[in-house]
């Protein structure tokens, strides 16, 4: 069936800007429907902050002066399990989001591909934890399982793999999953650190006393 160009606003026009500088992000506006993780104003501020942090990277998809999609990479928060990594080589893919009218056109994949093409994460492990409470089930009409599988395929297409873990937030919900991309030049000590953090054998909140 012929494509209706009105339904494809993004094709050919949207630019991807890997690891954009914070000033660039601040100068653009954020699409009002990029609101899955936070209200757009707060998310815009958060992206500027991440891009300006020493270890942060925010890749943008822009349509003119509007950010219509992004992926944010950063060191994990210290209170998180992955934040206990002491090698400095474990990163987190904190969020990927594409505005609803721009979805289904390969934009999320382009954002991730362009980021990894920079080589910035070649010696890093990037962890992506899938939590069903972040899934956009209302707009997609998908089940949490189907959504998890969609994200898994998306991440696998750019080199992520599924890993088991005893992290209770992930292990306790089958709709959640842990993926990680091990960069081709990742040092052994970073791999060992990630392995140790995947299974810490701590009790979950349901543990017996």
Q: Is 96 in the site for ligand COA (CB under 6 A)?
A: yes
Residue in the block written with tokens 């953090």 = 197
d(CA 73, CA 126): 8
Contact with ligand COA (CB under 6 A): which of 84, 134, 173, 191?
Answer: 134
d(CA 49, CA 58): 10
Give Cα 13 to chain centroid, integer Å.
Answer: 23
d(CA 151, CA 156): 8
Q: Where on the phi/psi map is residue 12: left (φ > 0), alpha (ψ -120 to 50), or beta?
A: left
Interface with ligand COA by CB under 6 A: which range of 95-103, 166-174, 184-192, 201-209? 95-103
Residues binding ligand COA: number (CB under 6 A): 21
Instruction: Kindly compute the dihedral angle of the four CA atoms of residues 51, 26, 128, 102, in this order, to the nearest 10 degrees.
Output: -150
Interface with ligand COA by CB under 6 A: which range of 103-111, 114-122, 159-167, 186-194? 103-111
Shortest gap between Cβ of 44 and ligand COA (angstroms)? 16
Q: Which of residues 185-204 bind ligand COA (CB under 6 A)?
A: none
Q: Is 97 in the site for ligand COA (CB under 6 A)?
A: yes
Contact with ligand COA (CB under 6 A): which of 106, 159, 168, 187?
Answer: 106
Are 70 and 19 in contact, with CB atoms under 8 Å apart? no
Binding residues (CB under 6 A) for ligand COA: these are 36, 95-98, 103-109, 134-136, 140, 142, 150-151, 153-154
């Amino acid at each position: 069936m012929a494509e209706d160009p009105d339904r494809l606003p993004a094709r050919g026009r949207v630019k991807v800007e890997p690891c954009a500088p914070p000033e660039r992000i601040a100068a653009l506006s954020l699409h009002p429907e990029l609101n899955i993780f936070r209200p757009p104003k707060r998310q815009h501020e958060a992206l500027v902050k991440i891009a300006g942090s020493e270890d942060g990277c925010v890749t943008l998809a822009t349509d003119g002066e509007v950010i219509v999609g992004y992926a944010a990479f950063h060191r994990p928060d210290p209170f998180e399990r992955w934040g206990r990594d002491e090698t400095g080589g474990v990163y987190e893919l904190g969020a990927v989001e594409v505005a609803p009218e721009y979805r289904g056109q390969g934009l999320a994949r382009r954002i991730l591909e362009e980021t990894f093409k920079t080589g910035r994460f070649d010696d890093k492990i990037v962890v992506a934890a899938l939590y069903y409470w972040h899934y956009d089930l209302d707009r997609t009409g998908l089940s949490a399982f189907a959504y998890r599988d969609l994200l898994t395929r998306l991440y696998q297409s750019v080199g992520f793999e599924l890993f088991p873990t005893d992290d209770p937030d992930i292990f306790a919900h089958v709709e959640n999953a842990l993926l990680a991309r091990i960069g081709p030049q990742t040092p052994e000590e970073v791999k060992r650190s990630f392995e140790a953090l995947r299974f810490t054998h701590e009790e979950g909140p349901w543990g017996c006393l």
